[in-house]
Structure 1
Amino acid sequence: MSREQRPNPRLNEDLLFNVAPGGPPRYSRLSNRPVQYLTVVDRHGQVIGYAWANDEDDAAGWVVRKAGGDEAFNEGSVWAIKLHDAKARAIVPSAALAEMIQESDPTKSSHVVPGSLTEAPNVEAVRRLANPE
Structure 2
Amino acid sequence: MSGQDWTSPRLSEDMELSVAPGGPVRYARTTDKAVEYVAVANEESGVLGYLWACDADDAAGWQDRPAAGRDASNAGGFWIPKLREFKARGVSPSQMLAELAQGAGGGRIGQVVPGSRALASGLAALKEIAGDDKPKQPPASPVTRGR
TM-score scaled to structure 1, two decimals?
0.78
1:46 corresponds to 2:71: no
- 1:18-29 pair list within 5 angstroms: 19-29=19-29
Q: 1:67 and 1:132 mapped to 2: Cα distance? A: 12
- 1:54-133 pair list within 5 angstroms: 54-104=54-104, 108-109=107-108, 110-130=110-130, 131-133=132-134
Deviation, structure 1 residue 85: 0.8
Task: Give secondary structure in 2 for the equivalent of 1:102.
Answer: coil
Structure 1 ranges of 4+ moved more than 3 A: none
Structure with greater contact order relative to length (CA < 8 Å, sep ≥ 6): 1
What is the RMSD computed on CA atoms of the aligned residues?
Answer: 2.1
The runs of 5 or more residues in structure 1 that have no matched partner are: 1-15
Q: 1:71 and 1:28 mapped to 2: Cα distance? A: 24
Q: 1:86 and 1:41 mapped to 2: Cα distance? A: 21
**Corresponding pairs, count:** 118
Q: 1:98 and 1:32 mapped to 2: Cα distance? A: 22
TM-score scaled to structure 2, two decimals?
0.71
Bigger Cα Rg: 2
1:36 corresponds to 2:63: no
Task: Give secondary structure in 1 for the equivalent of 2:79.
Answer: helix
CA deviation profile, 1:64-107 (whole Å, cap 9, x unmatched): 112211122112221212111101111000011111111336x5
